[in-house]
Homo-oligomer: A and B are copies of this chain.
Amino acid sequence: MAQGLRAHGYKLTAQRLAVLQVMQEGNELLTPAEVLDRGRKIHSRLGMTTVYRTLELLRELGFVRRVHGAEGCRAYAQAREQDGHHLVCQACRRVVDFPCSGLNELIEQTARRTGFSVESHLLELAGLCPACQ
């Protein structure tokens, strides 16, 4: 996945590798402040600005996805599934991916009924993971 950065012409800096590692290690939802905390344990010289920039970069490359849950509106989680969505545990913030399938019918029907062209969608599920139920 670090190779993905190279492949897109981005430099492999210690800061980016630290953020990358943080996002790959856990499977919880992480705020930028939490990514900074964890990232500094890997590379002590890491600034908040870089965390913000790197998370957005990883998002553009499809390595992480942003989550707009109840728990604040800016959080990130690893994107395991290509073109998938997140299901978040409300208790422990664990995240799992699920594939985006079964939405097409709803989207097409809505487009037909409203005359809109649908360009993108945002779907998130929240609930309780097996351990927290």
A interface with B by C-beta (< 8 Å)? 68-69, 73-74, 87, 89-90, 96, 98, 101-103, 105-107, 109-111, 113-130, 133
Contacts and interface: CB of A to CB of B under 8 A. Distances in A.
A66 B112 CA distance: 24
A124 to B, nearest CB: 4
Contacts of A121: 123-126
Of all A-B residue pairs in the complex, the 8 with the closest CB atoms, nearest first, are: A102-B106, A115-B130, A118-B127, A73-B73, A68-B68, A122-B124, A119-B127, A98-B110
A60 B131 CA distance: 30
Contacts of A117: 127-128, 133
Contact of A113 (B69, B89, B98): B98
Contacts of A122: 68-69, 122-126
